[in-house]
Structure 1
Amino acid sequence: MTFVRTPDPQADTLAPARGRAAPVGARGNGPFWHRAASWDVAFWLVLAAAVIVVAVTFPDFGITFDEPLHVEYGQRALEWYASLGRDRAVLEFQNLYLYGALFDTVEALAENLLPFDVYATRRLVGGLTGLLGVLAVRRIARDIAGAETGARAGLIAGLCLLLIPDWWGHSFANPKDVPFAVAAAWTLSWLVRVARGLDAAPDQGPSRGSVVMLGLCFGMALGIRVGGVLLAGPIVLVALAHVAKGVLAGAGPRQTGATFWRLVRRLWIAAPIAYVVMIAAWPWAQVNPLRHPLEALAEFSKFPMDFIFTFAGVQVRTTDLPWWYLPVGFGVKLPEVELLGLASAAAFAGMAAVRRPFPVGVRLDGVALTTAVLLPPAAVVATDAVLYDGIRHMLFLMPPLAAAAGLGINGLLTRLPRRWPANYWLRPFMAALLVACAGIQVGFMAHLHPYETIWFNRFAGGVHGAGPRFELDYWGSSLSEAAKRLTDTMVKLEGPQALTQPYRIRVCGPPTTVFHYLPPAWKPTRRNTGPVDFYLAFTRWACKEVPAGQDIVRIERDGEVLAYVRDLREPPQ
């Protein structure tokens, strides 16, 4: 007995309208909002515009807390590979040896090849990497929505990710979370292809190429962060759901065993590919490929970061977070339209579950996306994982959330009336409304630039409303702009000779963020070690012994101070 085939996997998951005409392809007949080619062209135009924006704005972003360490780690990893393992400095560097070096090595290579400052190079590579995540999200939504509305769903989902300010801002200056999120998104993209292959041909399964790419992308995620082993959860659950569909449809033990063995024969190759890629990208793991990855997992399970910070107006502890931490975190950091799309996707999925026969009506690509969204937060709650910096560690949820939101909005558009006269005004009106919402979001991001990551939606009261209740610039990147503006101010007041004055600088915050942009003649001083000329601080920490003086530079957005410079020199007599 073979499985009963599921409904056409190419069908629109969220919104198969009854009585619809045959799918409209790329030939271009019908109104422009029905033509797949029009949506595809629109997506590539949006992506081209995003590439231009990256190319123009990448030097604007400041240095974040962890970046100096990643610069050093990347260079040490590059020396490890260049020396064929003889230069072992990478194996003992801070705690970064516990992380795979894939992205840091790529950035180190770019630093040696491109004619930019080391941090500017990282901005460019990071910004372009973030756009690779947009491509993955578009592909996920396009595949799940199917041939008729897939192009539209892909465009909307891609925009949903592109216009999340946290995604855009972190892409440029986050060397861990966004690269991992991009690798995770491409892993999900290929898992969706594998799932569609299982649905379309249960007796044959997915193509070998899809399985190979699944293993390759999974390995790249592990080669950035070994905790990416969590991504195996959706893979396993899709496989189990495939077997369970046969059991619930009446398959006997022999048929179930045959199905399971056929699945194993198809999917097994992904595991060794992922493992080999992970080891190849991780110098410390190469020393002991079996023991070291397990030791890293054990270390991260008890990550030694224990402190109290403000979240939603409440003092919370990293090691004892409330269950609502992630729901609230994403609820205030995702755009309102995307939250509407997620609510719609959940509603449509519930309607489909009621309408379609169970279990054969369950689509495995939907299982892949659903588990990618729900499994990681459940694991965080179940294991009491250590989190801080808002939702930074969970940025890898943003691509699947954007894909789900894009499918939800696409489902809403599909359910709009198709007959005259609504067909002639309601659909263009909804399209114009979505364009307007995207334009407003772009305006918010431009206003906050280069501090897009401090954005909060209207549920939190925007940046000004969130300022007293959430951490804003928790990575101190605003100190870079404060340093640049201090230099410009002193040159304006004293002329070029200000650059050679032996000014003494004290910093409350990550010092490299400041001194990378100050003249070499300006030297750091430590607290209680002598006179100070200028004091630079960011506002995440309650800095001890803040000296009295006049603020000559203030970095602000929407009335919230992110960083400031205080002049401590004696006033002229």
Structure 2
Amino acid sequence: FYFEWFHLQNLILGLFLFIFSYSVLYLVYRDGSRAVIGPILLFFTPAVTGHIPANPKDIPFAVIFLLGIFLISYFLKNPRNRSVEILTLGVVFGIAQSTRIVGFSLFITYFLLNLFRSVANREKVGETFLNSTIILMLSFFIWVLSVPFLGANFFANLIYIITETAGFQTWNHEILYMGKFLSKEERPWHYLPVLLSIQLPLTILFSLASGLLLVVRKKLRYNFSHPVFVITTIVLINFIIYFVLHPVVYNGIRHFLYLAVCLVLLAAFFLIDLYNRLKTKHKFVLWGAVSAYLFFTLVRMIHLHPYEYIYYNELTGGLRGVDKKFESDYWGAAYKESAQRVLETVKQKGVKDLKVYACDNQFAVVYYSQFQYELVGRSRDADVIICDTFKEKLREQTEDVTYQTTFPVVSEIKREGVPIHIIRAKQDFSGLFK
């Protein structure tokens, strides 16, 4: 197994996020200069793009989910070939559902908007139900092919999958939220909305707020086949699912990256339409303000690299403002850098038989150690401890903290002046890292 190939595969797959986001906007504007705003805003959303190289779960789902949004918008706008529509949507919806059960919200959105169109245009509602049923059955067929367990006893196992997905009984860890460690049962209802509001860039939040205000004041109008209408419906359905089922969520917005992508695209539409409504002098002001903020975000992304996903916006004071209040390096990507620092010390000082304890992500530490030091399973057996700040804070509350004096800090990995990873060593070994 090579991490480098793993990251490359993820990057290639993540490329389709930008392709599909461009396609959704091009479907409306037929103008590349405006459609490219979607991929640009998406690129400058570090909480999403920072996940692409290392996240083999949520990014692929976001890709197929975004493809589903594009296809729904396309077929609502061009309802000509029903056979192609049924086959394509059935397959894509099935893949989405088999990846994450919340992918079923794509079918719900399609069905509701199709039903609305049939009623509004006085078309045959029965035909809409028939076509939707065929799509649903085809999506279930794809789902069963992907998850054979479901086909063994469809309805019973479907209920099991839904309840298990929401409750996730096998996950029993702590969540760091607003400075407190919470169990999954203690997680408040506002967990997701708050994290979205502090991890999405201000450009996205401003565009969403401005667009919603203009829609409420009827300055902007979108028909049911417009992607804005489609995305808004999907976002509302997913928030309803979140509030009703109260699923287990951790690692910030990681499980809802697909929803963050939807909000970014919604912001792109609103920003473009707001720009088109402004007078020329105001257009320059908006263009200049957005460009300046994107440049500022780029600078922050460079400083955060390769841990862009730990980004928090300026409402919180950035990473410094959320230190010890929210999770940062929950992927444990910095274990690579810590492991390499220890390896560099071992090679430079010629240390033999060094024992290292890693609080998490032991597999990566072994990989990047090049087998030049030994990884041990207990901290008391170690000469060196490498730990992310989340686990470090957790150890302070749940374990004997005397290790902080017996294992002083010898090195820290920082971003924006905030430690995200800590290396500790016994007193006898602390001099090696100077």
Fold shared by both chains (TM-score > 0.5): yes
Residue among 102, 114, 118 paired with 1:243: 118
Query: Which residue pairs with 1:260 in the alignment?
Result: 125
Give the conservation status (yes or no) of the 8 Å contact 1:319–1:384.
no
Aligned-partner SS, 2:412: strand
Superposition deviation, residue 355 in structure 1 = 8.1
Larger mean Cα displacement after TM superposition, 266-275 or 465-474: 266-275
Give the conservation status (yes or no) of the 8 Å contact 1:476–1:513.
no
Residue among 218, 226, 234 paired with 2:101: 226
Q: Do the aligned partners of residues 392 and 197 (structure 1) sit closer, same or farther apart at CA in structure 2, a change above 3 Å counting?
A: same
Q: Distance in 2 between matches of 1:280 and 1:161?
A: 33
Give the conservation status (yes or no) of the 8 Å contact 1:190–1:211.
no
Superposition deviation, residue 373 in structure 1 = 1.6
Query: Which residue pairs with 2:167 in the alignment?
Result: 302
Superposition deviation, residue 271 in structure 1 = 2.5
Deviation per residue, 1:112-137 (Å, 9 max, x gap): xxxxx522212111122222112222
Q: Distance in 2 between matches of 1:518 and 1:528?
A: 17
AA in 2 matched with 1:565 = I
Query: Which residue pairs with 2:62 in the alignment?
Result: 181
Q: Distance in 1 between matches of 2:36 and 2:99?
A: 28
AA in 1 matched with 2:168 = F
Give the conservation status (yes or no) of the 8 Å contact 2:357–2:379.
no
Q: Do the aligned partners of residues 288 and 415 (structure 1) sit closer, same or farther apart at CA in structure 2, a change above 3 Å counting?
A: same
Q: Do the aligned partners of residues 472 and 502 (structure 1) sit closer, same or farther apart at CA in structure 2, a change above 3 Å counting?
A: same
Residue among 513, 517, 526 paired with 2:368: 517
The reply on whether 1:491 has 2:347 as its aligned counterpart is yes
Give the conservation status (yes or no) of the 8 Å contact 1:130–1:167.
no
Q: Distance in 2 between matches of 1:565 and 1:509?
A: 13
Q: Distance in 1 between matches of 2:299 and 2:278?
A: 28
Query: Which residue pairs with 1:32 in the alignment?
Result: none
Query: Which residue pairs with 2:214 in the alignment?
Result: 348
Superposition deviation, residue 569 in structure 1 = 5.8
Superposition deviation, residue 241 in structure 1 = 1.8
Q: Distance in 2 between matches of 1:306 and 1:179?
A: 25
Give the conservation status (yes or no) of the 8 Å contact 1:552–1:565.
yes
Superposition deviation, residue 187 in structure 1 = 0.6
Aligned-partner SS, 1:173: coil
Query: Which residue pairs with 2:359 in the alignment?
Result: 508
Count the aligned residue pairs. Answer: 420
AA in 2 matched with 1:336 = L
Q: Distance in 2 between matches of 1:568 and 1:459?
A: 39
For structure 1, the residue ranges without an aligned partner over 5 or more in a row are 1-116, 199-204, 252-257
Q: Distance in 1 between matches of 2:348 and 2:133?
A: 66
Give the conservation status (yes or no) of the 8 Å contact 2:189–2:246.
no
Deviation per residue, 1:374-402 (Å, 9 max, x gap): 21112111222221211111111022111
Q: Distance in 2 between matches of 1:509 and 1:377?
A: 32
AA in 2 matched with 1:400 = C
Q: Do the aligned partners of residues 549 and 319 (structure 1) sit closer, same or farther apart at CA in structure 2, a change above 3 Å counting?
A: closer
For the aligned residues, what is the CA RMSD?
Answer: 2.6
Deviation per residue, 1:54-98 (Å, 9 max, x gap): xxxxxxxxxxxxxxxxxxxxxxxxxxxxxxxxxxxxxxxxxxxxx
The reply on whether 1:130 has 2:10 as its aligned counterpart is no
Q: Do the aligned partners of residues 433 and 355 (structure 1) sit closer, same or farther apart at CA in structure 2, a change above 3 Å counting?
A: closer
Q: Do the aligned partners of residues 480 and 262 (structure 1) sit closer, same or farther apart at CA in structure 2, a change above 3 Å counting?
A: same
Aligned-partner SS, 2:64: helix
Superposition deviation, residue 463 in structure 1 = 0.5
The reply on whether 1:312 has 2:173 as its aligned counterpart is no
Give the conservation status (yes or no) of the 8 Å contact 2:90–2:136.
yes
The reply on whether 1:165 has 2:46 as its aligned counterpart is yes
Residue among 512, 524, 534 paired with 2:384: 534
Aligned-partner SS, 2:332: coil
Give the conservation status (yes or no) of the 8 Å contact 1:158–1:402.
no
Deviation per residue, 1:196-251 (Å, 9 max, x gap): 235xxxxxx565434432222222212322342233221222123223424xxxx5
Deviation per residue, 1:11-52 (Å, 9 max, x gap): xxxxxxxxxxxxxxxxxxxxxxxxxxxxxxxxxxxxxxxxxx
Residue among 118, 137, 140 paired with 1:275: 140
Q: Distance in 2 between matches of 1:264 and 1:223?
A: 23
The reply on whether 1:364 has 2:225 as its aligned counterpart is yes
Give the conservation status (yes or no) of the 8 Å contact 2:90–2:138.
yes
Query: Which residue pairs with 2:308 in the alignment?
Result: 452
Q: Distance in 2 between matches of 1:528 and 1:349?
A: 57
Q: Do the aligned partners of residues 527 and 129 (structure 1) sit closer, same or farther apart at CA in structure 2, a change above 3 Å counting?
A: same
Q: Do the aligned partners of residues 449 and 528 (structure 1) sit closer, same or farther apart at CA in structure 2, a change above 3 Å counting?
A: closer
1:22-171 map, 5 Å: 118-143=2-27, 145-147=28-30, 150-171=31-52
Identity of aligned residues (%): 23
Superposition deviation, residue 321 in structure 1 = 3.0
Q: Which has the higher contact order (CA 8 A, sep 6+)?
A: 1
Q: Do the aligned partners of residues 317 and 364 (structure 1) sit closer, same or farther apart at CA in structure 2, a change above 3 Å counting?
A: farther
Q: Distance in 1 between matches of 2:78 and 2:419?
A: 52
Residue among 447, 458, 464 paired with 2:320: 464
Superposition deviation, residue 295 in structure 1 = 2.9
AA in 1 matched with 2:216 = G
Q: Distance in 1 between matches of 2:82 and 2:214?
A: 29
For structure 2, the residue ranges without an aligned partner over 5 or more in a row are none
Q: Distance in 2 between matches of 1:510 and 1:161?
A: 28
Larger mean Cα displacement after TM superposition, 332-341 or 280-289: 280-289
Larger mean Cα displacement after TM superposition, 310-319 or 385-394: 310-319
Give the conservation status (yes or no) of the 8 Å contact 2:355–2:384.
yes
Query: Which residue pairs with 2:269 in the alignment?
Result: 407
Q: Do the aligned partners of residues 210 and 348 (structure 1) sit closer, same or farther apart at CA in structure 2, a change above 3 Å counting?
A: farther
Q: Distance in 1 between matches of 2:332 and 2:29?
A: 44
Q: Distance in 2 between matches of 1:321 and 1:566?
A: 31
AA in 2 matched with 1:231 = L
Superposition deviation, residue 308 in structure 1 = 4.3
Q: Which structure features the higher share of helix residues?
A: 2
1:383-422 map, 5 Å: 383-417=245-279, 422=280
